[in-house]
């Protein structure tokens, strides 16, 4: 406690939250505050997410000057040849790899890294968590990394430790990930490094007179330059949500009560919908429900988007997540982690920064678990082909930039503050809007350009504005890179109605990671999209934009409209749509291996959360 107080004094904090003191959890407290501990379990996301400072106390001590120097070099990234090149990390020749590994393992031997509740605190506090590592006062802690001024303590930002340790493991790995990297990554992992899948783009067709990427990007404000995660536009970065990663971290840590894993998962991922794991709940009764089924239920209740057709296996940079795609024949051979790994979708964020944050918002709106799969609401669009545009009297090349279009472009401004679209982006989009003519979609785009240039005061705008602008930025990049764009109209609209949506046609990089093992039927390509603004900090906005194929619930493809249609997820697409006043429809996404499959009319039991016994012939 003395160490916590010294840290609080160093950052001038007068109020502290200590779990064991602030939540009644002693046996005698149940008489006076019987519900306090149960409620405390469910609100840890608010406690640590809203904290001003968070501190983690380690007991393992640094005793050697060489260890302090190595830790400083690791945290300051001076061990790497080029720390900015995350795709091709290399260690400097003089680095003693074994010594650095042993230092990391020594720090990770502290009991705090093995406890489930501590993981939750670290995850939720995020960038605000500071670790206090004791060291011998005879040692010198001045170096490249600032360890703070508290005597006897090395102050280490958890964010820095997690990031540089993951980078170090990546730089050490040339093939299969081996010990000690496996042990290290099981305790501390930077998700947006481990989960990043990279696809190279062929940009030989890019318009030559477009300003260089670095010139365009230099026009953005300091926020972009500090936080950018996509500086190389010859690559596409795809990520899953962090759900499977968080579950892995929770599963590998010790908890006194196994049912606490349900609450910790919900807290860590800031889920709105929760399961009752309090005293008296059937979920905590031994032998009644499967913990894996309960965890899967809370994941599905909160809108996780699963791949529901087989695809080509993904090669992850640091983790072995290979798993056979679930079917009704092999479902009982799956664990929950293997099921999530086999079914997790990959997403490409449209903006320049905070990709993983964007992707964790990619969730179904108002999901309901049914016998047929996940029922959700959204809009179904038909993509308009070039032939359809020609037949309707429109030029099929209106979604392409020509050399003539670029003649009068002005150079980008040096400063644009927090704008998402600089002058060049606005000029490119203006050319596109002029070609499209007046309509709902163009008015939608112009309104958002105005909102970008003249933003409303905090609290007065719409959360959707940021997402629309990010996707308009992606459309601008697609125009410059000569990627295919497709106009779309609502599938329920008349064939001659105006286009109300614009999507970036998925390139081969989506197929490689997502669904090339499945060939869709030859019929109009459709996109399922939805957005929900959320209600507060703990009911976040949700976005869906998926290329889909319509089928019935026994796997037969259908093009005709019908209520509660089943959809196959063919991969993520970025785009914008203007459907003000239109009502969302209800659709169902089957769950692989769980809901009934093609031609199989057997009833799916509604009590799917209960433990199942293998029957003869299963």
Query: Which of 204-213, 231-240, 478-487, 528-537 holds the top average pLDDT?
Result: 478-487
CA atoms of 239 and 242, how far apart (whole Å): 9
Which residue has 């995020």 as its token pair? Answer: 126
7 shares its domain with 92? yes
CA atoms of 262 and 277, how far apart (whole Å): 8
In a domain, residue 520? The reply is no
CA distances from 222 to 57, 86, 211, 229, 507 (A): 34, 21, 20, 14, 31
Lowest model confidence (mean pLDDT) among 28-32, 84-88, 434-438, 453-457? 28-32
In a domain, residue 460? The reply is no
101 shares its domain with 170? yes
Last-in-domain residue among 125, 160, 189? 189
**E strand or H helix at 445, and its extent?**
helix 440-453
178 shares its domain with 313? no
- What residue numbers bound the domain in which 293 lies? 243-348
Residues 6+ apart with CB under 8 A from 411: 211, 215, 424
pLDDT over 70 percentage in the chain: 77
146 shares its domain with 289? no
Per-residue pLDDT, 210? 44
Query: Secondary structure of the chain: what % helix, strand, coil (to 5)?
Result: 35, 15, 50
Q: Which has more pLDDT, 305 or 205? A: 305
In a domain, residue 344? The reply is yes
CA atoms of 578 and 497, how far apart (whole Å): 13
**E strand or H helix at 337, and its extent?**
helix 336-343
39 shares its domain with 169? yes
Per-residue pLDDT, 202? 53
In a domain, residue 307? The reply is yes
Per-residue pLDDT, 169? 94
What is the β-pairing status of strands 565-572 and 585-589?
parallel
Residue 125 has a CB neighbour count (10 Å cut-off) of 21
CA atoms of 383 and 527, how far apart (whole Å): 7
Q: Which tokens in the block code for residue 36?
A: 């306090």
142 shares its domain with 258? no
Per-residue pLDDT, 290? 87
What are the tens digits of pLDDT across the range 554-608?
A: 444 444 445 568 999 999 999 999 998 899 999 999 999 998 754 333 333 333 3
Tally of domains within the chain: 2
175 shares its domain with 251? no
In a domain, residue 337? The reply is yes
In a domain, residue 283? The reply is yes
In a domain, residue 475? The reply is no
39 shares its domain with 131? yes
How much is the mean pLDDT over the chain?
81
pLDDT average, residue stretch 152-165: 97
Phi and psi at 191, nearest 5°, equal -60, -40
170 shares its domain with 247? no
Last-in-domain residue among 348, 375, 402? 348
**E strand or H helix at 568, and its extent?**
strand 565-572
CA atoms of 145 and 128, how far apart (whole Å): 17
183 shares its domain with 311? no
Label residue 251 by pLDDT band (50, 70, 90). Answer: very high
What are the tens digits of pLDDT across the range 502-520?
A: 999 865 444 333 444 444 4
Which residue has 């259908």 as its token pair? Answer: 558
Q: Which has more pLDDT, 133 or 15? A: 133
Per-residue pLDDT, 388? 76
Of 215, 476, 538, nearest in space to 351 by CA: 476
What is the β-pairing status of strands 565-572 and 485-490?
unpaired
Q: Judging by beta carbons within 10 Å of its beta carbon (0-12, 13-18, 19+), is residue 442 exposed, middle or buried?
A: buried
Last-in-domain residue among 332, 348, 364? 348
Label residue 521 by pLDDT band (50, 70, 90). Answer: very low
> What residues form DSSP beta bridges with 530?
544
Lowest model confidence (mean pLDDT) among 209-218, 242-251, 377-386? 209-218
Q: Which has more pLDDT, 483 or 577? A: 577
Sign of the CA dihedral 545, 547, 551, 555? negative
Of 548, 550, 552, 547, nearest in space to 598 by CA: 552
Residue 223, pLDDT above cutoff 50: no
CA atoms of 382 and 524, how far apart (whole Å): 7
What is the β-pairing status of strands 585-589 and 373-383?
antiparallel
262 shares its domain with 166? no
Residue 31, pLDDT above cutoff 60: yes
Q: Residues 217, 228: contact at Cβ < 8 Å?
A: yes
9 shares its domain with 95? yes
Which residue has 């407290």 as its token pair? Answer: 29
Per-residue pLDDT, 482? 87
pLDDT average, residue stretch 161-167: 96
In a domain, residue 102? The reply is yes
Per-residue pLDDT, 410? 66
Q: How many CA atoms lie within 13 A of 502 on its CB side?
A: 26
Residue 570 has a CB neighbour count (10 Å cut-off) of 25
């Amino acid at each position: 406690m003395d160490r916590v107080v010294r840290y609080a004094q160093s950052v001038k904090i007068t109020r502290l939250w200590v779990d064991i003191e602030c939540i009644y959890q002693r046996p005698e407290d149940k008489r006076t505050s019987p519900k306090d501990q149960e409620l405390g379990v469910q609100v840890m996301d608010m406690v640590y997410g809203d904290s001003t400072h968070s501190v983690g106390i380690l007991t393992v001590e640094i005793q050697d000057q060489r260890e302090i120097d190595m830790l400083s070099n690791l945290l300051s990234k001076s061990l790497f040849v080029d720390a900015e090149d995350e795709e091709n990390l290399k260690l400097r020749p003089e680095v003693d790899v074994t010594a650095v590994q042993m230092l990391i393992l020594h720090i990770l031997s502290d009991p705090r890294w093995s406890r489930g509740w501590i993981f939750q605190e670290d995850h939720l506090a995020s960038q605000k968590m500071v670790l206090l590592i004791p060291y011998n006062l005879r040692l010198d802690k001045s170096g490249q990394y600032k360890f703070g001024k508290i005597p006897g303590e090395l102050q280490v930002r958890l964010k820095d430790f997690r990031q540089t340790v993951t980078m170090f493991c990546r730089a050490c790995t040339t093939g299969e990930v081996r010990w000690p990297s496996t042990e290290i990554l099981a305790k501390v992992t930077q998700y947006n490094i481990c989960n990043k899948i990279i696809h190279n783009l062929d940009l030989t067709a890019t318009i030559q007179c477009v300003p260089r990427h670095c010139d365009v990007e230099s026009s953005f404000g300091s926020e972009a330059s500090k936080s950018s995660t996509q500086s190389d536009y010859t690559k596409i970065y795809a990520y899953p949500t962090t759900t499977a990663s968080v579950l892995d971290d929770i599963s590998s840590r010790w908890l006194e009560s196994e049912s606490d894993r349900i609450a910790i998962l919900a807290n860590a991922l800031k889920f709105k919908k929760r399961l009752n794991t309090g005293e008296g709940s059937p979920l905590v009764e031994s032998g009644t429900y499967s913990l894996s089924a309960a965890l899967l239920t809370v994941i599905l209740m909160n809108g996780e988007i699963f791949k529901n057709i087989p695809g080509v296996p993904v090669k992850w940079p640091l983790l072995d997540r290979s798993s056979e795609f679930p079917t009704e024949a092999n479902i009982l051979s799956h664990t929950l982690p293997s099921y999530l790994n086999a079914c997790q979708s990959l997403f490409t964020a449209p903006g320049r920064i905070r990709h993983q944050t964007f992707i964790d918002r990619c969730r179904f709106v108002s999901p309901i678990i049914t016998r047929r799969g996940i029922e959700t609401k959204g809009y179904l669009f038909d993509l308009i082909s070039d032939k359809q545009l020609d037949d309707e009297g429109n030029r099929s090349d209106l979604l392409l930039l020509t050399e003539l279009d670029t003649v009068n472009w002005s150079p980008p401004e040096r400063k644009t503050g927090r704008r998402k679209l600089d002058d060049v982006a606005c000029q490119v989009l203006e050319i596109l809007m002029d070609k499209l003519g007046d309509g709902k979609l163009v008015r939608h785009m112009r309104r958002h350009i105005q909102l970008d240039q003249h933003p409303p005061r905090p609290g007065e705008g719409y959360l959707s504005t940021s997402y629309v602008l990010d996707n308009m930025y992606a459309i601008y990049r697609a125009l410059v890179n000569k990627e295919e764009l497709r106009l779309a109209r609502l599938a329920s609209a008349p064939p001659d109605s105006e286009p109300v949506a614009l999507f970036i046609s998925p390139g081969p990089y989506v197929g490689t990671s997502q669904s090339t093992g499945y060939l869709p039927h030859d019929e109009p390509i459709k996109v399922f999209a939805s957005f929900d603004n959320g209600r507060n900090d703990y009911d976040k906005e949700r976005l869906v934009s998926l290329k889909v194929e319509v089928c019935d619930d026994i796997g037969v493809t259908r093009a005709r409209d019908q209520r509660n249609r089943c959809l196959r997820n063919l991969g993520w697409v970025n785009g914008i749509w203007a459907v003000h006043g239109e009502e969302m429809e209800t659709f169902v996404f089957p769950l692989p291996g769980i809901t009934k499959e093609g031609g199989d009319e057997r009833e799916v039991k509604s009590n799917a959360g209960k433990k199942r016994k293998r029957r003869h012939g299963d």
